[in-house]
Amino acid sequence: MRLKVAVQFSQVTKKFYRGKRYQPSLVEWLDALFTGKSFDKPKFKALDRVSFEIKKGQVLGFVGSNGAGKSTILKLVMKITYPNSGEVETQGSIAGLLELGTGFHGNLTGRENVYLYGSILGFSRARVREIYDDIVEFAGVEESMESPLKQFSSGMVARLGFAVAIHLNPDILVIDEVLAVGDMSFQEKCMRFMKDYCRDPKHTVLFVSHNVENVKMICDEVIWIEQGRVKKRGKTKTVVEEYIKFQRKREV
């Protein structure tokens, strides 16, 4: 992997079971045992031989229909899941917000969860202590930090998770559509922060959103994912406009 590349996907395929995990019949088990053949499992390809690279300091957006594979890409980057084939390489520390409660525990207090999430991301307790007050102030949940997280609203959890991720100042920041859970004022606050954050050439950002205005606001380039494959990559304005036309045609 070249020094200036932060993230690289090389022919990555990721499969998931569709519905309940497949349970082969006794006949299928016996057939596999005596013939060496494998039985078919009903899987679908969330990603199909996807290749791309993201350079350090680049702000890259992902757009695509529901189920296109956008969030799967982010989970692979954060090593929440792993590819069935191909390689995913990253350089530097990674933090992000993919799903509500990622890295959090409902029975722990807000304070305890900040330290837990920081340790999961590989940061020392001393480092988290240094930025704790800034995290809480940004999230705007000071009065609830000694309460169990299960008493937080979904918006409060999103605010706290985002605040922790950005204040740890990772080399690679990964943000999914989960920001839409927060209230309007907090979403606007996040986008203002993201615009400033993304101007720093040291920050590599992967951003997924169905709000194309947010994508256009902060992203240098966009990758359009459709049915698990890269349909197009290019300048944000160009790719987003083509994506919007595509969606409008599908709705007709």
Specify the pLDDT at position 199. 85
Q: Give residue for tokens 């082969």.
A: 24
Specify the pLDDT at position 2. 57
- Average pLDDT of the segment spanning 216-245: 95
CATH 3.40.50.300 fits 5-92+171-251, yes or no: yes
Round to whole Å and give the CA distance between 111 and 132.
Answer: 9
Instruction: Specify the pTM.
Output: 0.81
Residues 40-83 pLDDT 10s: 566 788 999 999 999 999 999 999 998 899 999 999 998 889 99
Domain positions in the chain are 5-92+171-251, 103-169
Q: Give residue for tokens 């807000």.
A: 110
Res. 226 pLDDT band, cuts 50 70 90: very high
Residues 167-214 pLDDT 10s: 888 899 998 866 665 677 887 888 888 888 888 888 899 999 888 888
* Helix intervals (H) in the chain: 26-35, 70-77, 110-120, 125-139, 154-167, 184-197, 212-218, 236-251
Residues contacting 164, CB < 8 A, separation 6+? 95, 114, 117, 118, 135
Which of 148, 157, 144 lies closest to 99 in space, CA to CA? 157
- 63 forms beta bridges with 224
